Amino acid sequence: MKAYFSELENKTVIVTGGSKGIGKDIALTFAKLNANVVISGRNKDILQEALEELQSFNERCMAVSGDLSNIQEVKRLIDTAAEEFGTIDVLVNNAGVNIAKPAMEVTEEDWDTVLDLNLKSAFFASQAAAKYMLEQNSGRIINIASQMAFVGFVKRAAYCSSKGGLVQMTKALAVEWAKNGIRVNAVAPTFIETELTAKMFEDEEFKNEVHSRILLEGLSQPKDISGAVLYLASNLANFVTGETIKVDGGWTAI
């Protein structure tokens, strides 16, 4: 009997926004299984640091810098990975942004910034990856959504809209591509304890509000999200598509 997840060895896995936070943890999870991981990010220095860490597990990992709000950069990322490895097996649409403002203060530029990266780029990355997946009649697309796709929250009008759209997009693509062997799913985390959220939780009132909505003790860790992504990318999830797994500590159960 083969070890769990051994089928991911030598698979080509793209993780957008994979240079830090949960994206980096997801990328490392696959690299440790000897998958050929391709990460993207805007900051070349941070991206290079993350790549070196990935290559300590699999030297075939690579990084492609770029702003995925630009659809041409999205396509370049996907095509570069396909040219290097000959196939694309898993796409993790993780890149995202939030601009926390009261709804009455959100500008058109704010709205476009959030929706362009969180939703538009994920669609066109999926479309570009599917071009290769359709040819091989197989593939996994995993979108990183949020519990805020299912509930509202203050100062998150654009963010909630983008993540709600991502969950619906997941279903639509799953329905359209199921006959081609492509499974499309999503993971919906709650707030995660990373270096990126540390400053946010310096606000004690905000911190207490978040903790009051999570039934399990503490905040989720990056590995909690990586575990759900790994499951969806593996043969354990062969009969799962169009689904969103909530990793929210019970936030949406109330």
What is the model's pTM?
0.96
Q: Is the pLDDT of residue 203 over 70?
A: yes
CA atoms within 13 A on the CB side of 246: 14
How many C-beta atoms lie closer than 10 Å to residue 207's C-beta?
14
Catalytic residue list: 159
Instruction: Read off the amino acid at residue 26.
Output: I
Q: Is the pLDDT of residue 195 over 80?
A: no
Give the pLDDT score at 193: 80
E strands along the chain, which residues? 12-15, 36-41, 62-65, 90-93, 139-144, 182-189, 244-247
Q: What percent of the chain stands above pLDDT 70?
A: 99
Confidence of residue 1 (pLDDT cuts 50, 70, 90): low
Confidence of residue 163 (pLDDT cuts 50, 70, 90): very high
Region 77-97: mean pLDDT is 97
User: Please, what CATH class does the domain formed by 8-193+222-246 belong to?
Assistant: alpha beta
Domain ranges of the chain: 8-193+222-246
